[in-house]
Structure 1
Amino acid sequence: MKISGNTILLSGGGTGIGRELAQRWHDAGNVVIVTGRTLASLEETAKGRENIHPVVLDVADPEAIRSFAAGLLAKFPALNVLVNNAGVMPLEDTSVPRDLSRAEACVVTNLLGPIRMTDAFIGHLREQADAAIVNVSSGLAFVPLASAAVYSATKAAIHSWTDSLRFALSGKVEVIELAPPAVQTELTPGQSSRDGYMPLDAFIDEVMSLFAKTPTPELIGVERLAFLRNAEAEGRYADTFAALNSSPV
């Protein structure tokens, strides 16, 4: 993936990892369109950066995605990078009957959202030079957190789907997975100051250095990701699962 000269569409750009990526890519010489459900937070991402363009979009709405794609491509025909970052992480007790609306919304946003966004733009991206798709998964794609079981399952699905998408688009569109470990953001309440989580600035610094590599790694994984990513290969999955799920969230 090129470092500069791209036109990038990034979902979930109003806070956290999405905001930081948008601002870093902008400052590296890219045009960035950020989407999310709240205009005020998107405008905060774009503040002082003339080439960040905020647009309200709910990736859980398939009709909105279709109409958004047509309008966006008319305005930004040079679009060549799609970053599927929008996500939600409900914490739930799956051992008891419950209202499944939050779990279902998690599946729609985290899994169907990227699938629908990719479908809406793939025809265009296949015709662009230096085209890329970046799918944001999670360290929990490799070892799940039981209190976020549905979230973990959606991220495991994103990991699997990204591998298949990369194979299908080989030679046409570069497909990259970004798998964050536990990072200090507001994805869950209180997470931005939680001990043991990776500071957001340090995470973004390491991520940007990995994106700058030639060739770009297929999986952007910071050093801290190895604890979860390599657990099964190193024969310590059961111990890692137990350690992960013994810690309060």
Structure 2
Amino acid sequence: MKQSNNTVLITGGGTGIGLAMATTFLKEGNEVIICGRTKTTLDEAKKQFPRLKTIVADIATTEGRENLKSEIANRFPKLNILVNNAGIYSITDIFDTNYIPTLEKELTTNLVAPIALIQQLMPILEKNSNATIVNVTTGYVFIPSAQSSSYSASKSGLRAITQGLRFNLRHTPIRVVEVIPPAVDTQMNKGKEISLMSTELFAKKVFEGLVKNQDEIVIGVSKLGKLLSRLAPKFGFNKMNTDEEKQNKYSKL
């Protein structure tokens, strides 16, 4: 990826790691569009960083994706980088009565939506040079979480399709990148007594990996998860999930 003069769309870019990535791209001289479901959240981000462009769109719906595609085609035809960052996360047990609705919602938002958006924006991306598709997954693709199994499943599915897409596009100029974050200091991890990476450092590492043309950007403790999944998968799974179970109990006290 070239360092500057890109036109970048970041879904879920109004807060957390999405906003951190957006501001990093901005500082490097890129045009950045963020989208999200809530206008007030996007307005607050733009208030902090006036050069951001915003589009209100719920990408979990067909109508929201169609509206986003139209906005991009009309206003930002030079789009060459798509960052699929938007996602939702739940802690729920498979035997909970709300587990299936939760699973369906997370699969729709975390898996179906980004793939559908890639399909819809591909005609724009393929017309522009240095086109890059970035899918943000999670360290749970290496070691799944028992207490967040629906989230783990949705992101593991996104990893599988990302790898397939990279293979399908191998003879084209379009790059396909997977970003695999560690636990980052966001609302998702609020209250957890674990070491959290700052959103600023996370975004810096993502940008560096993109500039270096890495296909897979594994960050922080996710590197350990990847290693354990290969060398000692059972140990890694039991250790992480035991620790998470304790954290969840403490958070409810």
When normalised by structure 2's length, the TM-score is: 0.91
Q: 1: distance between equivalents of 2:166 and 2:206?
A: 20
1:87 is aligned to 2:83: no
Deviations 1:72-92 (A, max 9, x none): 211111111111000000110
Alignment partner of 2:235 out of 231, 234, 239: 239
SS where residue 8 of structure 1 aligns? strand
What CA distance in whole angstroms lies between the structure 2 residues aligned with 1:154 and 1:2? Answer: 30
Residues 199/240 of structure 1: CA separation in 2 closer, same or farther (3 Å cut):
same
Unaligned runs of 5+ in 2: 249-253
What secondary structure, in the 3-state scheme, does the structure 2 residue paired with 1:140 have? helix
Could you say which residue in structure 2 is the equivalent of 1:40? Answer: 40
- Taking the aligned partners of 2:156 and 2:10, their CA distance within structure 1 comes to 21
Q: Which amino acid aligns with 2:164?
A: S
Instruction: Give the Cα–Cα distance (whole angstroms) in 1 for the partners of residues 25 and 208 of structure 2.
Output: 12
Q: Is the 8 A contact 1:90 1:103 kept in 2?
A: no
| Superposed CA offset, 1:18-70 (max 9, x none) | 01000110111011110111112212222243431111111111122113202
2:201 matched to 1:211? no
Q: CA offset at residue 175 of structure 1?
A: 0.6
Shifted more, 163-172 versus 127-136: the winner is: 163-172
Indicate conservation of the 8 Å contact 1:132/1:176, yes or no.
yes
Superposition deviation, residue 96 in structure 1: 4.2
> What does residue range 49-64 of structure 1 map to in structure 2 within 5 Å?
49-64=49-64
Among 220, 224, 228, the alignment partner of 2:217 is: 220
SS at match of 2:147: helix
Identity of aligned residues (%): 32
Which residue identity does 2:238 align to in structure 1?
A: A
Quote how far apart the aligned CAs of 1:238 are: 0.6
The alignment partner of 1:133 has SS state of: strand
SS of the residue aligned with 2:188? coil
* Partner SS state of residue 65, structure 1: helix
Work out the CA distance in 2 between the residues paired with 1:105 and 1:131: 29
Q: Which of 180-189 and 73-82 deviates more? A: 180-189
Structure 2 residue identity aligned to 1:212:
V
What residue ranges of structure 1 are gaps of 5+ in the alignment?
Answer: none
Q: Which residue of 2 aligns with 1:202?
A: 201
2:203 maps to amino acid: I
More helix per residue: 2
Q: Distance in 2 between matches of 1:165 and 1:137?
A: 15
Matched, 1:167 2:167: yes
Secondary structure of the corresponding residue to residue 127 of structure 2: coil
Structure 1 window deviating more from structure 2 (12-21 vs 64-73): it is 64-73
Contact 1:23–1:45 (Cα < 8 Å) also in 2: no
Q: Is 2:183–2:189's contact at 8 Å kept on the other side of the alignment?
A: no
Distance 1:71 1:201, change over 3 A: closer
Report runs of 4+ in structure 1 exceeding 6 Å deviation.
Answer: none
Structure 1 residues 95 and 65: alpha-carbon distance in aligned structure 2, compared to 1, 3 A threshold: same
How many Å apart are 1:229 and its aligned residue?
Answer: 1.5
Cα 1:96/1:37, change in 2 over 3 Å: closer
Task: Give the letter aligned to residue 104 of structure 2.
Answer: E
Residues 16, 185 of structure 1: 8 Å contact kept: yes
Distance in 2 between residues matched to 1:217 and 1:87, nearest whole Å: 23
Answer with 25-34 or 41-50: which moved more: 41-50
> For the Cα contact (< 8 Å) 1:81–1:125, is it kept in 2?
yes
- Equivalent position SS for 1:33: strand
Q: 1:217-243, CA deviations, whole angstroms, 9 ceiling, x for partnerless residues?
A: 10111242211112222x211111011
Pair 1:116 & 2:119 matched:
no
**2-side partners of 1:55 and 1:71: how far apart?**
8
Tell me the TM-score normalized by structure 1.
0.92
